[in-house]
């Protein structure tokens, strides 16, 4: 599994801890690819988030992990990239549910919200969880994809939102 991971300077210490954790995993073969925003420090969270989200959307990475202070800005930015489902998770249940129910390919955490130990537990649960492709969940995913396509079409002048 190829995981793109990125952080701003606030999430950098947690990123290092998570990368170390990922490299120690025996059950899951993990190839960590670190993404950094271009230019001098400090790094703007959206610059990193879009790099990781584009890597996931293009298939260059199977999944992504983003880290900043709260997780909010990274989540908002990553979800602007078509085809990406980023979930902000600060507990194990939400991380599992993000994968099981919503097929989230990007995990986002706030380094000012979770500590290193909890963060590694969240990552472990998220890595282990798989999308449960029941008919109901597949229908939900199709609905989400349809909403995204509808708004992209509207943006490009090929339809109206709300239809």
pTM: 0.88
Instruction: Say whether 89 is catalytic.
Output: no
Which is catalytic among the residues 4, 37, 68, 119? Answer: 68
pLDDT value of residue 160? 57
Considering Cα of 149, then 153, then 154, then 155, what sign does the dihedral take? positive
Based on the fold, state whether residues 9 and 88 are members of the same structural domain: yes
Give the CATH number of the domain where residue 34 resides. Answer: 3.40.1400.10
pLDDT value for 163: 43
**Distance in angstroms (rounded) separating the CA atoms of residues 99 and 105:** 7
Residues 73 and 79: beta-carbon distance below 8 Å? no
Range of the domain at 28: 2-132
What was the pLDDT predicted at 63? 96
Say if residue 148 is in the same domain as residue 69: no
Give me the pLDDT at residue 159, please: 55
Question: What's the number of domains the chain is made of?
Answer: 2
> Do 42 and 72 fall within a single domain?
yes
Parts of the chain with a pLDDT under 70: 37-40, 158-163
83/151 same-domain check: no
CA dihedral 38, 46, 152, 126 (to 10 degrees): 110
């Amino acid at each position: 599994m190829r995981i793109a991971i990125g952080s701003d300077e606030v999430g950098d210490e947690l990123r290092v801890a998570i990368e170390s954790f990922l490299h120690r995993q025996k059950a899951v073969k993990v190839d960590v690819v670190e993404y950094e925003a271009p230019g001098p420090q400090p790094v703007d969270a959206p610059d990193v988030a879009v790099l990781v989200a584009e890597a996931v959307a293009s298939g260059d990475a199977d999944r992504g992990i983003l880290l900043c202070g709260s997780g909010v800005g990274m989540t908002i930015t990553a979800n602007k990239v078509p085809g990406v489902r980023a979930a902000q998770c600060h507990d194990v249940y939400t991380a599992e549910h993000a994968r099981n129910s919503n097929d989230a390919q990007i995990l986002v955490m706030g380094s000012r919200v979770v500590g290193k130990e909890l963060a590694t537990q969240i990552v472990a649960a998220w890595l282990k969880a798989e999308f449960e492709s029941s008919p109901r969940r597949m229908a939900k995913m199709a609905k989400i994809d349809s909403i995204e396509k509808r708004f992209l079409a509207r943006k490009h002048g090929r339809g109206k939102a709300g239809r």
